[in-house]
């Protein structure tokens, strides 16, 4: 049994689909009452991992304990203690907001008095009161998101698993959604959330970066940025595209990205790299200012997902 301050422990977690390995020997530890983020490109194994953790998908190998329950053996007993929200709206379009929540309450076998109290509480908490009699299918993306979250937490789960829940909503709705998540963790709920958004990943207490089914980085956003191998530079010049072309074959540069009128560069370690980049630009006739920058989470993501070698099984002989 895991320590009481640990919500999820997975060791050697693996899932294959035929010859494809979707999750590859994943080790994972998630503490209680925190937001733990999954960050990774499409096909990195985030959704597959979440489905195994909540007992919806059998692992091919490995061990899982969630809230002290062995998964998949005790998945049925775990169901009442977790909430699960997918990126696709999964409630009933032809029921009203209130009817959807009452239906979920019935599924969780809440008695009439508890159901009435809990539905009223969540309608108020997630700004759905004025929408209670509106059909769910007519709601905006942000409103559907709030309704889905209300449904996922209606039975007061200890653990909430969210699979890219903000993929189809506007920035303001995402901010409001994350405020709601932190309110839940303040009340003791553990949240595991997958995301594509760097600003959301920065909000997590702790973060795992997945690539090709493997865990390639794990830590707080600050820890991951501080541990980034190499250096980051920002190049200010009149033509960032020309600067990128001039540095395209520079061997110590791992990645470049134009950010507005600047060029952000991820390079290897080396005391004189900044000087040599500036010299290369001068040789190309480009007047530029090269400054050292603090690594951000996007730099970490690029380094972890682009620069880590593929598993031996994926390499050509």
Q: Write out pLDDT tens, residues 242-286.
A: 999 999 989 899 899 999 999 999 998 878 999 999 999 999 999
Return the CATH number at 243: 3.30.70.100
- In the prediction, which pLDDT does 83 show? 95
Tokens for 251, please give them.
């061997």
pLDDT over threshold 60, residue 317: no
For the chain, the helix, strand and coil percentages under 3-state DSSP, each to the nearest 5: 35, 30, 35
Domain boundary residue, one of 225, 247, 275: 225
- In the prediction, which pLDDT does 204 show? 96
Residues 134, 205, single domain; the answer is yes
Structure confidence by residue, pLDDT tens digits, 63-101 = 999 999 999 999 999 998 999 998 888 899 999 999 999
Does 168 reside within a domain? yes
- In the prediction, which pLDDT does 1 show? 43
Residues 206, 272, single domain; the answer is no
Residues 79, 208, single domain; the answer is yes
Does 42 reside within a domain? yes
Residues 29, 104, single domain; the answer is yes
Number of folded domains in the chain?
Answer: 2
Does 156 reside within a domain? yes
- In the prediction, which pLDDT does 121 show? 97
Burial label for 174, CB within 10 Å (0-12, 13-18, 19+), is buried
Residues 161, 63, single domain; the answer is yes
- In the prediction, which pLDDT does 53 show? 95
Enclosing domain of residue 157: 6-225
Residues 112, 150, single domain; the answer is yes
Whether pTM exceeds 0.85: yes
Average pLDDT, the chain: 91
Question: Which residues, including other chains, have CB under 8 Å from residue 98's CB and lie 6 or more apart?
Answer: 119, 123, 132, 133
- In the prediction, which pLDDT does 230 show? 87
Return the CATH number at 94: 3.40.50.300
Does 301 reside within a domain? no
Does 136 reside within a domain? yes
Does 314 reside within a domain? no
Q: Are 267 and 253 in contact (CB under 8 A)?
A: yes
Residues 214, 236, single domain; the answer is no
Residues 144, 252, single domain; the answer is no
């Amino acid at each position: 049994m895991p320590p009481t301050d640990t919500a999820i422990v997975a060791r050697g977690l693996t899932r294959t689909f035929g010859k494809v390995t979707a999750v590859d020997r994943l080790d994972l530890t998630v503490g209680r009452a925190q937001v733990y983020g999954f960050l990774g490109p499409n096909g990195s194994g985030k959704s597959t991992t979440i489905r195994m953790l909540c007992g919806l998908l059998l692992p091919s190998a490995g061990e899982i304990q969630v809230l002290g329950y062995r998964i998949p053996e005790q998945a049925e007993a775990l169901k009442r203690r977790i909430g699960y929200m997918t990126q696709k709206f999964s409630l009933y379009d032809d029921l009203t907001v209130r009817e959807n929540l009452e239906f979920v309450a019935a599924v969780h076998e809440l008695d009439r008095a508890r159901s009435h109290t809990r539905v009223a509480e969540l309608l108020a908490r997630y700004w759905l009161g004025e929408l209670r009699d509106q059909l769910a299918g007519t709601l905006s993306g942000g409103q559907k998101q709030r309704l889905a979250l209300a449904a996922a937490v209606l039975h007061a789960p200890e653990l909430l698993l969210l699979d890219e829940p903000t993929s189809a909503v506007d920035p303001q709705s995402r901010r409001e959604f994350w405020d709601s998540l932190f309110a839940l963790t303040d009340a003791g709920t553990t949240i595991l959330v997958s995301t594509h958004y760097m600003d959301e990943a920065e909000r997590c207490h702790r973060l795992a970066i997945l690539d090709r089914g493997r865990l390639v980085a794990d830590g707080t956003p600050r820890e991951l940025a501080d541990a980034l191998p190499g250096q980051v530079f920002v190049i200010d010049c009149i033509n960032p595209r020309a600067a990128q072309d001039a540095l395209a074959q520079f061997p110590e540069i791992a990645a470049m990205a134009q950010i507005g009128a600047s060029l952000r560069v991820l390079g290897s370690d080396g005391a004189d790299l900044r000087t040599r980049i500036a010299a290369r630009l001068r040789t190309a006739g480009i007047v530029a200012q090269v400054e050292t920058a603090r690594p951000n989470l996007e730099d970490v993501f690029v380094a972890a997902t682009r620069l880590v070698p593929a598993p031996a099984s994926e390499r050509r002989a």
